Amino acid sequence: MTTIAEALGINWAPVTEQPTYRLTYHAQKQAAAKGWTSEDILLAAEQPLHTYPSGRVPGQVRHVRGDLVVIVDPAARRVVTVYRDVVETDVRTDQTDADARRYDSRRTTRLGQRVLAHVDEITY
């Protein structure tokens, strides 16, 4: 006797082959700068231990494997960037958005005083 699933052609076997993600140039540069190989990045992208949506860019997803975070765009099947999980680094000079600047440890007031990390905004 045939089941309904078989009649409809539904295969419940796990998928063994996934489409491969591609690394953007930025992701390649970040991985090389941090000592990760392309294989490390693609393993995290394709076989993450857990995932969750990006809070910054709609549609992007964080794929986490160990201490490696790989930001992916699932629709385009590409790796956007990579970084070490739960490690804050100095803000790069090209990071000019307000969110990045909020975490810049070198922030100062107009008078040159250091701004504490927990302070979100200074008004004059």
Mean pLDDT of all residues belonging to the chain: 77
Q: Quick check: 69 and 85 in contact, CB under 8 A?
A: yes
Residue 81 to residue 64: CA distance in whole angstroms = 12
The pLDDT score that the predictor gives to residue 109 is: 62
- At 45-62, the pLDDT tens digits run 999 888 888 878 899 999
Q: Which two tokens stand for residue 63?
A: 């794929």
Domain 18-102 has CATH 1.20.120: no
10: left (phi over 0), alpha (psi -120 to 50) or beta: beta
- At 86-112, the pLDDT tens digits run 666 677 777 767 766 665 655 666 566
The pLDDT score that the predictor gives to residue 124 is: 47
Q: How confident is the model at residue 3 (pLDDT cuts 50, 70, 90)?
A: confident
Q: Is pTM, for the whole model, over 0.85?
A: no
